[in-house]
Structure 1
């Protein structure tokens, strides 16, 4: 016979908070909404849309990343309870003189964007190809408490020795 034990709300809350706090820290980089385009009309709540946000690399001056991503509308989306689909695109460009710090790590999460009420996030990592002197930015999606990761990703690269 299988016995189930009732778990109190306090235990569940502690587990959720523990999982959230144990996740890798994402640099505090606030995105700037450049614009958005409605894709699906919703009778109640806001429309589904594709949003374009700009994020400036907090450690490498002169680099800005433009991230387009789907946002779910409707009642759930308007209340912040919907899970946005893992559909996105990334383009990073030199928007000034690029000055990487001397101690720039080979791999680092640069910024993130919450895409659901419950532990799903879109992240952008910076990889540094020291041999070719190129910064690579990789956008990828996380899902907490699932067995598999998301295969969705996008990549862009910026050469540091551009002619």
Structure 2
């Protein structure tokens, strides 16, 4: 079972084998975490993502990390659900994002992976519910990944993830 930890910071600066991108289905970049990862990885990330698109909600695919600093070797792109009030299978789609991303990390041989808070920005997923799903899912997925780091951009998200972990 992977060790799960919560930190606050910039996911593009994490010292891990792979980082997860909260992407849109085009995999060409966007705002928030997606935009930050694309800026840090450089323009080849957009080209590599476009070649794999479209990616449906709940799925995950990987590209090289390009210009991200080592040891980051991979970017795992996952498309979270847009919140529609919780009546459109959003919880299972969000859990699938975390589960599929860990499975992709396993297939790449990654021993450490960092996740952002998927779907809690522009996609509107309630952060407290998303934190519980994130923690419960990464704890329950069988994996050879040794470290799963949940990276909060702000203090509120950090506190929610920490509470869910406890």
Could you say which structure has the larger radius of gyration? 1
TM-score with structure 2 setting the length: 0.32
Q: Which has more strand, going by share of residues? A: 1
Q: Which has more helix, going by share of residues? A: 2
Higher relative CO (Cα under 8 Å, sequence separation at least 6) belongs to 2
